[in-house]
Amino acid sequence: MTTTENQQLEAIHNFQGKYPKQLWYLFFSEMWERFCFYGMRGMLTFFMVYQLGMEKDVANLQYGATQAWVYAFTFIGGMFADKILGFRKSLFWGGLLMITGSILLMIDPHELFFTGIAFLIIGTGFFKPNISSMVGQLYSQNDPRRDAGFSLFYSGINIGAFFGGILMIGVGKGTFFSSFIPENLRWNAAFGLVALVMAVSLLIFVFTQKSLGPIGLPPIDYNKFKNKRWYEWAVYVGAIAAVPVIIKMVANTQYTDYFMYIIGPFSLIYLFYEMSKLTKAENNKLLAALVFIIFSVVFWAIFEQAGGSLSLYAAEHVNTNLMGVNGIDPNMVNNSANSLFVIIFAPIVGLLWLALAKKKVEPNGVVKFGIGFLLLGAAFYIFYSGQFFTVSSGIASLNIFTLGYFVVTFGELALSPIGLSLMTKLAPLRLQGFMMGMWFLASAYGQYVAGLFGAGISPSENATAAEKLAVYSQGYQQFALYAVIAGVILIAISPLIRKLMQDVK
């Protein structure tokens, strides 16, 4: 970096108060992008079952494959951002692709479903890891305010997820605006809403990016090395060329299986290659990051039942009475309750970490991860217990269902924003995009396994409602047990991981 750029970065790092102003700009850009992502996630399995006519186990596998590709491309997008585009250009290009995919789905969500999904997958891969990496670079290496900043950023994610989760499924099902959106165009309108909101996200970023100073600029100075400009254009052309490949891969989940068998080992080989150039201290930190990444696969495989089996469970096995209020759509609760709770409690949890840090009693990142798993296990035991609070045969209480999401929220807050923060702390600067990509690649594996889990607990269509409820419940009990075991292991090995992390907390 030039002297001027170093001065700009130092000025950003030396902000006064709890949060830098640039965090708010990234907050709002990410908020609207997450409206699109979580709105899509919340209605994907529902749309495939009730609009495309897929069998439930097939829809769960398709859901897992689609989400796996989304997060796999965040790994690829992170690599290209590190080496060629920089975070800002990568984010802008990803946004354009997402808008394109949403417009295609708006035109014909049935015939162009997989084409639109392919554009959204690739676009999210370029957008998502790079905005998170820029948040990390707003802080100096040992700034204790970083975790609180990521917790606030995470609440922005969930504000978008809350509105997207409610509005998109509501428009598609006709709960909202049915008086002036014809029934045959409701899903078109829902997907069109994604395109509109994604455009807002991109405009916010375009008009505020100057405040970021040198953060997110390309690693190659194209003004100095004009002969390397073709690198950038090759990335854009390659992304478009990948669309038909992704269509084929997502439509046939067997191809996704093959890809998942390859991308994980490849990413590890590449990581070990990069580690050969680093010091022992840097490598120890990366090994600690790898432990978090591996455990996060288990977390997301269970957590992401929200977009798969829990979506179908809500549609068929939950009543519509929440705290005495009738007529509440369980799918809207499924899509938005977790986000609403995060909006309310993420800032509070962030401030709690700050208060504990001041008293020097804040749990370290490994213990926070372990606590996240224990809370996830408790939440799925609550989902399991829904069969004991039935309001009629095969129909569970929406109150119990919502309570499960309340507990899930605190598990997520103990793990996900802390995970984002840890990736930026543990990775050397030149590998931050790659490690953020690996964090999201772990989510890809989690999503992939979530689809397998969801398909594995899909009840027979010939079963009674009570029998189907029992099958789902038994599955959730199993998932709860996996989460608790993982949490106990993490807390037990925390001293060893802390040694690898060295000065990182």
d(C-alpha 421, C-alpha 133), whole Å: 9
Residue 449 structure tokens: 């396994």
CB 99 within 8 A of CB 197: no
389-431: pLDDT as tens digits: 888 889 999 999 999 999 999 998 887 767 767 777 888 877 7
Number of other residues whose CB lies within 10 A of the CB of residue 278: 15
User: Quick one: average pLDDT of 71-81?
Assistant: 79
Q: Give CA separation, 380 vs 160, 475, 476, 505, in Å.
A: 25, 9, 6, 29
Residue 505: which pLDDT band, with cuts at 50, 70 and 90? low
How distant, in Å, are the alpha carbons of 153, 205, 364, 367, 380 from that of 418? 11, 24, 10, 11, 21
For the residues 259-277, what does the mean pLDDT come to?
Answer: 86
Inter-CA distances, 440 with 12, 265, 293, 306, 347, Å: 27, 15, 9, 18, 23
Structure-token pair, residue 231: 């690198």
User: How is residue 377 written in tokens?
Assistant: 């296990």
Q: What is the pLDDT of residue 252?
A: 83
Q: Is the pLDDT of residue 55 over 70?
A: yes
**482-502 pLDDT, tens digit each:** 999 999 999 999 899 888 887
Select from 165, 164, 188 the least CA-distant residue to 306: 165
pLDDT of residue 113: 92
pLDDT tens-digit profile of 196-240? 999 999 999 999 988 888 888 887 776 666 677 788 889 999 999
Q: What pLDDT sits at residue 223?
A: 63
> Which of 324-328, 353-357, 390-394, 400-404 has the highest mean predicted lDDT (pLDDT)?
400-404
Question: What pTM did the predictor assign?
Answer: 0.79
How confident is residue 380, by pLDDT bands cut at 50, 70 and 90?
A: very high
Q: What is the mean pLDDT of residues 287-295?
A: 89
- Which residue type, as a one-letter code, is found at position 458? S
Helix, strand or coil for residue 329? Answer: coil
Q: How far apart are CA 239 and CA 141, in angstroms?
A: 33
Statement: residue 133 has pLDDT above 80: no
| Neighbour count for residue 201 (Cβ, 10 Å) | 25
Q: pLDDT value at position 241? A: 94
Length of the chain, in residues? 505
pLDDT of the residue at 420: 67
Q: What is the mean pLDDT of residues 368-384?
A: 94
Q: What is the pLDDT of residue 492?
A: 92
Min mean pLDDT across 151-165, 215-229, 370-384, 392-406 is at 215-229
| DSSP conformational letter for 364 | P
The predicted model gives 436-448 an average pLDDT of 80
| Average pLDDT for 331-346 | 88
**Nearest-CA neighbor of 331 among 190, 484, 185?**
190
Is pLDDT above 90 for 57?
Answer: no
How large is the average pLDDT for residues 385-390? Answer: 90
Which residue type, as a one-letter code, is found at position 411? Answer: G
Q: What percentage of the chain exceeds 90 in pLDDT?
A: 30
Distance CA(125)–CA(119), nearest Å, equals: 10
Q: Report pLDDT for 471.
A: 92
Contact between 450 and 172 under an 8 Å Cβ cutoff? The reply is no
Task: Give the per-residue pLDDT at 114.
Answer: 92
Q: What is the token pair recorded at 190?
A: 């829902």
Q: What is the pLDDT of residue 87?
A: 84
With beta carbons less than 8 A apart as the criterion, state whether 22 and 212 touch: yes
| Angstrom distances, CA of residue 150 to CA of 33, 201, 258, 419 | 17, 19, 34, 9
Stretch among 35-44, 86-95, 178-187, 477-486 having the lowest mean pLDDT = 35-44
Per cent of the chain over pLDDT 70 is 97
**49 pLDDT exceeds 80?**
yes
Q: What is the mean pLDDT of the chain?
A: 86
pLDDT at 417: 65
Give pLDDT, residue 376. Answer: 95
Mean pLDDT along residues 117-139: 85
Identify the residue whose tokens are 């997820």: 161
